[in-house]
Amino acid sequence: MKQILYIIGVSGSGKTTIGRLLSQKTGLPFFDADDFHPTQNIDKMKAGIPLTDNDRKDWLAAIHQTALAQAATNGAIIACSALKENYRRQLSQGLQDVKWFFLNGSYEVIRNRMEQRPDHYMPPALLQSQFDTLEIPANALELNIAGSPDEICTAILNSIYQPSSFGIIGLGVMGKSLARNFASKGIRLSLFNRFVKGKEEHIAQQFITAHPELATAKGFEDLPAFVQSLTQPSCILIMVNAGTATDEVMNGLLPLLSTGSVIIDGGNAYFKDTERRIQLAKQNNINWIGAGISGGEEGALNGPSIMPGGETEAYSRVQPFLEMIAAKDENGRPCCNYTGSGGSGHFVKMIHNGIEYAGMQLIAEVYYILRKGLQKDPGEIAAIFAEWNSGTLSSYLLSITIDILQAKENDQWLLDTIDAKAESKGTGSLATQTAAELGSPAGMMTSALFARFLSAQTGLRQQAAAIHPAYSSPLSVSVEDIRQSYELARIINHHQGFEVIKAAAQEYNWEINLSALAATWTNGCIIRSALMNRLMEILQETDTMLFNEEIISLVNANQPGLRNTVAAALTGGLAVPALSEALNYILALTEADPPMNLIQAQRDYFGAHTYRLKSDPEGSPIHTDWKKFRSHN
């Protein structure tokens, strides 16, 4: 049963003002007892005749019924004079959690207020009868109306709520799931969601009502009240959209927080924005943690993978909270590891998403080859994937793909009804852009991103298909070749991702432990897999996974299958950009003498950019007048 808060006192004491303001701060619905009076009562008061107990009988009963109904759902704030003790007994009958707040003030002050509200049916002349009827409550918090409405509301909130140990701002899909995760671990929460009339109203309170595990949580739509409900210094998790929305929340929070409070940004923020926010927070004696959180709605609820970065002292404050809700690896350790200083947490989450993009694209291309090239239906492909998923190729992405491929509605494969236009969010683009800035080749995530971009150009593709009919021919490739190509391409994808992280760690002086990061990604996140479990161990021995003996053997064993598959797909008219990139990368990486010497000569020819000699790669730059070698024949 939910809490009922009665704001009581004589007419003119400010019950309605306080009730409405308290409703705004908490999200609880507000009811004004004045609205429950029957017409005859209102007419009597307008005429200056005081109400009797009999007049108030049905009025009190109606208010009581509303309180009972609200206690069974959301709880409520009710402004009611409730002048006598027997009235208050009637209003609380059958309610388990009732609190009374008595607004008290002098006759002179209250009469002056009543004279300032000429449209109210209660005339100032009846005020004395109210004071005469009033029985001072013994079980109510008495509040002097000389205080401002905000001060009175703060006093009420402080009396109602035991301080929460953790706060969450933003109740979208991820925020709600994380809140339930925290609550299930016994964490006392305060939850805030903005108020947007007609669109986002009472979100926090409705969410709390819908989930029994949130029984001790408190909901707010007023940011100061939310902060006041927390222990100080506070720990607050922000789960709002990256960019402007995060800055708006930050700007609202900083003036309200006590020194040493910690704000955790759990969104997909750009790591350079995180570093800017860390510095701004520090100027205000506040700590900022940029934490990548992966796992989607299910992971957030049952245990996500968490990648926190920032100052070590700040992280130590929130470490117990984050480790408590994180997924656990095969050894029972939390999939939550401190990544390093600055924006490193959001950086590795960005690269996680880049690896994710490429992983999804690889599965899509393998499906494409099996479906269009080998003419297998989704059910048959699901069976192939299920066999792969029972061994070393096991992964979360492959497992969900099996479920998708088995889905049928009205005897039709559900997959065939979906528009083939893949959407993308900012992290995929930022991962590719950042890899380029660092000079770290990341063709797998880049090809996956551009494949999505091309799929979104529906009109262009349809016109091109009409003008240039697709070439196709039967594919001569085995399922085993396709399996080998997938296994090797996954290895290249992960290698490229970790190489980008290594380059960033060197550039930004982050001491990122790659093995610990791989451990963080073994459960809870989207890219969890049997391969990641092995990388956790491999990266303890070497920071370049392709130099590990086990990986070397896999590359050598699977390269023929990748070559056959890419050749067959391209010859047969199927676009496989990610698989092709994997093959191109391993071929280029293992070529001791690539043709880039020609590019250096071309650059020197048209731009005098100079070049160095193979025999002296660290020597002085050389420029050649290439035109003098021009043939005149």
For residue 348, the SS3 value is helix
Helix intervals (H) in 47-160: 53-71, 85-92, 107-115, 127-133, 149-160
> Can you tell me which residue has the tokens 């007049």?
55
Eight-state DSSP code of residue 413: E
Residue 376 bears catalytic tag: no
Tell whether the torsion through CA atoms of 369, 371, 375 and 381 is positive or negative.
positive
Structure tokens at 434: 């950042």
Looking only at the bridges linking them, the beta strands covering 140-144 and 166-169 are: unpaired
Tell me the C-alpha to C-alpha distance, in Å, between residue 75 and each of 70, 192, 206.
5, 17, 10
Q: If DSSP codes are grouped into helix, strand and coil, which group holds residue 604?
A: helix
Find all residues with CB under 8 Å of 510, minimum gap 6, and list them: 309, 339, 340, 341, 342, 344, 347, 504
Helix H or strand E encompassing 560: helix 549-571
- Coil/strand/helix, residue 218: strand
Cα 536 to Cα 133: distance, rounded to the nearest angstrom? 75
Report the alpha-carbon distance of residue 582 to residue 353 in Å, rounded. 18
Annotation marks residue 349 as catalytic: yes
Rounded to whole angstroms, how far apart are CA atoms 364 and 567? 17
- Is the separation of the CB atoms in 399 and 365 below 8 Å? no
Q: Phi and psi dihedrals of 420, rounded to 5?
A: -85, 55
Per-residue burial over 203-222, b = 16 or more CB atoms within 10 Å of its CB, e = otherwise: bbbebbbeeeebeebbbbbb
Task: Please pick, among 275, 349, 365, 499, the residue that the annotation labels catalytic.
Answer: 349
What phi and psi, each to the nearest 5 degrees, are found at residue 94? 80, 0
- Contact call for residues 487 and 565 (beta carbons, < 8 A): no
Question: What is the identity of the amino acid at 568?
Answer: A
> Which tokens is 231 given?
């222990």
Contact status, residue 395 vs residue 530, Cβ threshold 8 Å: yes
Cis peptide preceding 233, ω within 30 of 0: yes
Which of 218, 221, 275, 356 is catalytic? The answer is: 356
Residue 272 and residue 281: Cα distance in Å, rounded? 14
As annotated, the active-site residues are 349, 356
